[in-house]
Chains A and B, each alone.
With several copies, the nearest count.
Chain A
């Protein structure tokens, strides 16, 4: 069971991620950042709860849904703004502008495959690598219910089972892959797939970020003890469209309204107060702090320099 400090850290990180995303939306409205973004609202409980169970030296393969796992892994907010502004402050120093290619090796953020599923294989390789190098690093790989149906998952999961890899698959099941519902496109339950590969499968409701953390911590501890992989299916909700501005004609109002009741940030806030970890004032202070930090980061990131032509053929070859 999470302790008080952990719960507060989880809430702070989730709230920060939400504030970061709101700030990004403003940058997008101002035309400073490209509009193509997959909002993370609704998956913060999953991404933060799970990622905070990792150490700095552990590896993260994040997914395209929001940025809260990357924020939780320690990548500076300013650098993330820089990536979306496509300027010199970004982790790729302007090469990537927008989704997909944030990378932060110092914090174990190994980047992302723009083709869904590619990261599952790279995660398996990273986990095998730490096993061969005899470090105690754990690799955590996030992906959605849709990406879970790519063959890449099978090859990564089979290897994770056969070689007892220190690897944690976090399937964020928000019920949708763009417009396609999980029921339409998926046979069986994701959590049940773990058993067929010989490792543990756990299901947890992502509306409860603290519960996610408990499950993730157990998985991380098992992995570090050399007891192999875990598949965590987290039920999340997509509080927005697939991308910012998706009309979502394919989705019923009921589904959207039900989702709205599952906001992990709202629920965590109430829980903090209920448990007496913080009182209303304490929470408000934390939130003000977080928003301030985000605003500072956004402002600091803006003056970054856009890359110029000379950048184009850099880093193709070592």
Chain B
């Protein structure tokens, strides 16, 4: 029978179970070992698996990602962490051109079985360099999966699947969800990467979201229900592979599409999804698409201003209402 645990505990279980199952799996990153991570996600792993498999690295983001690639092509299956997802830009060439393209560039002679854990998102006062959700940054760089977990069960099941996948996986964890509690199935719980999840059925409007925005979308959907608007909430569980069929099927029902992301409105996954729909499913649309995202500004350090910049469930609600007027 399922247990109720936190999102961070779910990640910890996924890591522990996979490290027990396969000795090639090693955890690495800044403070992930002895301290158990600055967000308290990895306690106990160092104690259980030792310094060789729970590696506290120097503050060297290029080494963390580039080194993990070197480990992955020589027989290990590293799970590397960048302390904040923003730091993907401190190891961008390593993530986009080494992790994602090493296999292809060398004619398929290697696989790069690694997971890059990326704690993302704004949580009040982190500022422009510790609050981003840069999931879409990988889109123009084929060769890796882009996975985002919106709840504890997915966090565990998707991470376990990512660790077993022979492809590199950029695994985004929202810092604001670590404390979220939820039911997680017992046993060897795996969730297929790239398969969307309909979190709520609806007929009037489709809200596509991932990560923390899924919860806000569900909240908005409840409010909309009270106003007689039936919203369907689709969790993409990431951006690549993208379950376009599920998205199209939902729009076919509703005829209306809202895409909600925490990243700034411009340059994010919402733009990509909107473009795909405008290309492949335009005829299904009864109203213009609406992207709900953060304002196109660097996230202000001041938490009050940050709150004004971030997208809210009320924004999603307003978007839906505007569509149905």
CB within 8 Å of B: which residues of A? 34, 36, 59, 86, 90-98, 100-101, 103-105, 110-111, 113-118, 120-133, 146-147, 149-152, 154-156, 158-159, 162, 177-180, 184-186, 249-250, 306-307, 309, 311-318
Contact = CB atoms under 8 A, between A and B. Distances in A.
Given A96-B302, A313-B297, A318 B308 contact: no
B166 interface: yes
16 contacts: A92-B301, A95-B300, A96-B105, A103-B110, A105-B110, A111-B102, A118-B97, A121-B66, A122-B66, A122-B67, A125-B69, A126-B71, A131-B52, A133-B75, A155-B62, A179-B31
Interface stretch (B123-131, B198-206, B231-239, B248-256): B123-131
A156 B130 CA distance: 23
Contacts of A121: 62-63, 65-67, 69-70, 94, 98
B143 interface: yes
B184 to A, nearest CB: 27
Contact of B167 (A113, A158, A318): A318
Given A155-B60, A312-B305, A178 B30 contact: yes
Contact of A96 (B60, B63, B127): B127
B228 interface: no
How many residues of B sit at the interface, in one of the four size bands? 35 or more
Contact of A179 (B34, B74, B110, B111): B34
A94 B305 CA distance: 9
A55 B93 CA distance: 30
A118 B66 contact: yes
Contacts of B58: 146, 149, 155, 158-159, 162, 177, 180, 185-186
B135 interface: no
B308 A95 contact: no
Interface in B20-55: 26, 30-31, 34-35, 38, 52-53
A307 B71 CA distance: 30
Interface of B: 26, 30-31, 34-35, 38, 52-53, 56-63, 65-76, 78, 86-87, 89-90, 93-94, 97-98, 102-111, 113, 124-130, 142-143, 165-167, 295, 297-298, 300-305, 308-309
B66 A152 contact: yes
